[in-house]
Amino acid sequence: MPSSDNRLYLGIDGGGTGCRARIVDDAGNVLGQGLSGPATTRLGVPGAWASVLRAWTGAAEEAGLDPLDAPNVMAGIGIAGLTRAGSREELEALPHPFGQICFTSDGAAACLGAHSGHDGGIVIAGTGSIGLAIVAGHELRAGGYGFPISDEGSGADLGLKAIQASLRAFDGRREKTALLNEVLTRFDHTPANMVGWMDRATATDYATFAPLVLRHADQGDAAARQIVQSGAEQIDGLVRRLIEYGAPLVTLLGGLSGPLEPWLSPDVRRRLKPADGDAVSGAIILARRLSARS
């Protein structure tokens, strides 16, 4: 193993839309950063690993490192889809150039970064939603099993609720508010168009309606407020479950975290804190722990 005075630390956040890498020295100075494409095991472990290596290569080039310097690097890798059966074992079996390497989920890396490696939880509210806590070294989860069976309070969930309510309004089963009328207008007030769209729509497609719902909620639309309040109650539930797990504080992450926070219950908002760092920071914490154990 290299001596501690010349060790470097690589943190990687591999997600479904892209992969970020950062190299720091022992003092925490950022030496180089790199980007590449998606790094999720849902696209296959070989493809995810190739993306990780591209991000590392970009960071190493920016840092002015030679490939022969890789054995001096302790690598912490957060990667999406690590819980898929066999994924961790397949990744750990791959040859790598680093001094040591450790894998974790992208969510766990984000949680470590948010709380500087201390106990805590995160609730991610974006296209999907999930709650995750790290308490006494144990990773504990709530929700996040995938849309439409889970991911309550997410952008996809808000969009689904808006479309369901608009169909009820079309039938005359509820009042046609400005939100519901705008949703119907997008489909030319023709339910058959909605059904055709539904047959091929993804969670991301449903989530495109979330900004519309939030805008109308801010303007006082009754249907929109009902949908957003229901979504906020689901996020409340995720936060409370993480607290029950033993997380002292929780950080909200994701594109909907800001818009939904004012809708959360007072007791939940009192247990929230801003993130100390990002998922790459969390992966670097893992890398430093590798160094401490060696």
Task: Identify the band that residue 4 occupies on the pLDDT scale cut at 50, 70 and 90.
Answer: low
Does residue 1 have a pLDDT over 50? no
Do the domain assignments include residue 83? yes
Question: 72 and 32, same structural domain?
Answer: yes
Do the domain assignments include residue 188? yes
Q: What is the pLDDT of residues 235-275, one digit of tens each?
A: 999 999 999 999 999 999 999 999 999 999 999 999 999 99
Which CATH number covers residue 252?
3.30.420.40
Backbone angles phi and psi of 16, in degrees to 5 = -75, -15
This prediction has a pTM of 0.90
Query: Collapsing DSSP states into helix, strand and coil, what is residue 49?
Result: helix
H or E stretch at 237:
helix 222-245
Share of the chain above pLDDT 70, in %: 98
| Average pLDDT for 149-169 | 97
Question: Which two structure tokens, joined as six digits, stand for 160?
Answer: 């689904």
The pLDDT value given to residue 5: 59
Question: 264 and 171, same structural domain?
Answer: yes
Mean pLDDT across the chain, nearest whole number?
95
Question: 18 and 100, same structural domain?
Answer: yes
CB atoms within 10 A of CB 244: 11
Question: 166 and 102, same structural domain?
Answer: no
Does residue 84 have a pLDDT over 50? yes
The pLDDT value given to residue 294: 63
Does residue 2 have a pLDDT over 90? no
Do the domain assignments include residue 30? yes
Question: 108 and 12, same structural domain?
Answer: yes
Do the domain assignments include residue 246? yes
| Average pLDDT for 203-225 | 97
Question: 187 and 259, same structural domain?
Answer: yes
Do the domain assignments include residue 250? yes
Rounded to the nearest angstrom, the gap between the alpha carbon of residue 174 and the centroid of all alpha carbons in its chain is 35
Do the domain assignments include residue 42? yes
Q: What is the pLDDT of residues 61-82, one digit of tens each?
A: 999 998 889 999 999 999 998 8
Range of the domain at 81: 4-116+277-293
Q: Within a 13 Å sphere around the CA of 163, how many CA atoms are in the beta-carbon half?
A: 24
The pLDDT value given to residue 205: 96
CA–CA–CA angle 258, 260, 261 (5° rounding): 70
The pLDDT value given to residue 67: 83
**Domains held by the chain: number:** 2
The pLDDT value given to residue 223: 98
Question: 106 and 12, same structural domain?
Answer: yes
The pLDDT value given to residue 292: 79
The pLDDT value given to residue 143: 94
